[in-house]
Amino acid sequence: MKRALNLHSGLTLIELVIATGLLSLLMIAVFSLLDGSLSMWDRAEVRRELSDRNSGVMDLMAGELRSMESGAHGDAWLDWYDFDTDGDELRETAWPRLRFVRQASAAEVARITALDPEPKLQSALIEVVYVVLPHGGDSEDQRSLGVLWRGVRLISSPTQSFLADDFFRRTGDPAPGSVEEVTGGILWLGVLCATQTSIVHDGWEIGDELADAATAWDAWDRDRLDATRHEWNVPGAGMPEVGDSALLPRRVRIELVMEREADLRRRTKLAELVTASDNVILVDDPLRLPQTGEMIKIGGEWLLITNRAGVNVTVQRGRRGTQATVHQAGERIHFGERLVREVPIELYREDWNL
């Protein structure tokens, strides 16, 4: 009786195989859950990092724009300059150049001049320039990215004025040593201005109507906007005649989209050639695209996703002031974290509710 009991004790081979299989399934489920959690955490960290970077840039620009100077020594100049970033002799990538005069505190003057402020000095005027320039990297993926630069100078400084016609050279670069890098990874920096007739509380529209926003600005109406460089270099509709004070926008809208270079490996690519007339593109991995209604960038062109059906993606071409062009199979599809901020100009405090 005892011998029979020993023969039936322990696990059979079938039971061992089943137990091993169940354990394997359990381990797969645990690792899948862990991998999914880590992926979600990684995406959240990426969004947090980009959000922090975006917010820092926005805070810097907004703080300076709020104190723009409108007097006889004030000025504001916003225009667009297009670059040939892929060497095909076609200007396909446009970036904004924003220059203005603002009030500066005595501490800022001391910091700029590296001297102790005079006791009687309370404030002064300084010039500020923001410009986005092409990344300039050798990688094809980096051609879609820009670098934001910033410069500040006392308006009384003997150095060249940021608002001089020849401050930017023919290549679009500023005078050497006049600006410092703020951040890279810029996919888009959009700047719009509310004119004296713009109505923007229901949204910022671009056009030639009185209620539309302006894509460029010339505070002294000196014909400084070159429409041959970009179609957005035109004054807003209904601009009043300039008097003895600089004419400032009532409100400025900044839209910033950034993408980390480390995120490029997560981006999908075009699976087939795209002509300038195609409105459906074929991608390698549709799961690595943003949702319908979001913008993507291929080369220098912005596209709006209107529908997704597997690897076939329906788009609207030539968005954000870009032109529809040919894209080769294998080109990277870019997108990033988007942040928008509206900056009311203090001079028009009574008009903040536009």
Domains of the chain by residue range: 48-260+338-351, 268-333
Residues 6+ positions from 239 with CB-CB distance below 8 Å: 195, 196, 214, 221, 247
pLDDT for 45:
54
Q: What is the mean pLDDT of residues 343-352?
A: 66
Confidence of residue 350 (pLDDT cuts 50, 70, 90): very low
pLDDT higher for 202 or 308?
Answer: 308
pLDDT for 265:
82
d(CA 163, CA 77): 8
Q: What is the mean pLDDT of residues 118-128?
A: 70
Confidence of residue 84 (pLDDT cuts 50, 70, 90): confident
pLDDT higher for 327 or 6?
Answer: 327
Phi, psi of 239 (to 5 degrees): -70, 130
pLDDT tens track for 279-295? 999 999 999 999 999 99
Q: What is the mean pLDDT of residues 199-210?
A: 91
pLDDT higher for 49 or 67?
Answer: 67
The average confidence (pLDDT) of the chain is 86
Dihedral in degrees, nearest 10, Cα atoms 33, 47, 289, 189: 180
For residue 181, list its beta bridge partners: 149
Confidence of residue 39 (pLDDT cuts 50, 70, 90): low
pLDDT for 20:
81
pLDDT for 1:
46
d(CA 247, CA 121): 27
Whole-model pTM? Answer: 0.82
pLDDT tens track for 7-31? 555 667 777 777 787 787 887 877 7
Contact by Cβ (8 Å): 113, 120: no
d(CA 101, CA 67): 9
Confidence of residue 352 (pLDDT cuts 50, 70, 90): very low
pLDDT higher for 87 or 38?
Answer: 87
Token readout for 147 is 């670098």
pLDDT higher for 22 or 332?
Answer: 332
pLDDT for 25:
81
* 280-286 contact pairs (CB < 8 A, 24+): 280/312, 280/313, 280/314, 280/315, 281/312, 281/313, 281/315, 281/327, 282/311, 282/312, 282/313, 283/311, 283/313, 283/333, 284/311, 285/311, 286/310, 286/311, 286/313
Percent of the chain with pLDDT over 90: 59
> Which among 137-141, 291-295, 335-339 has the top mean pLDDT?
291-295
Q: What is the mean pLDDT of residues 184-208?
A: 93
Coil vs helix vs strand at 144: helix
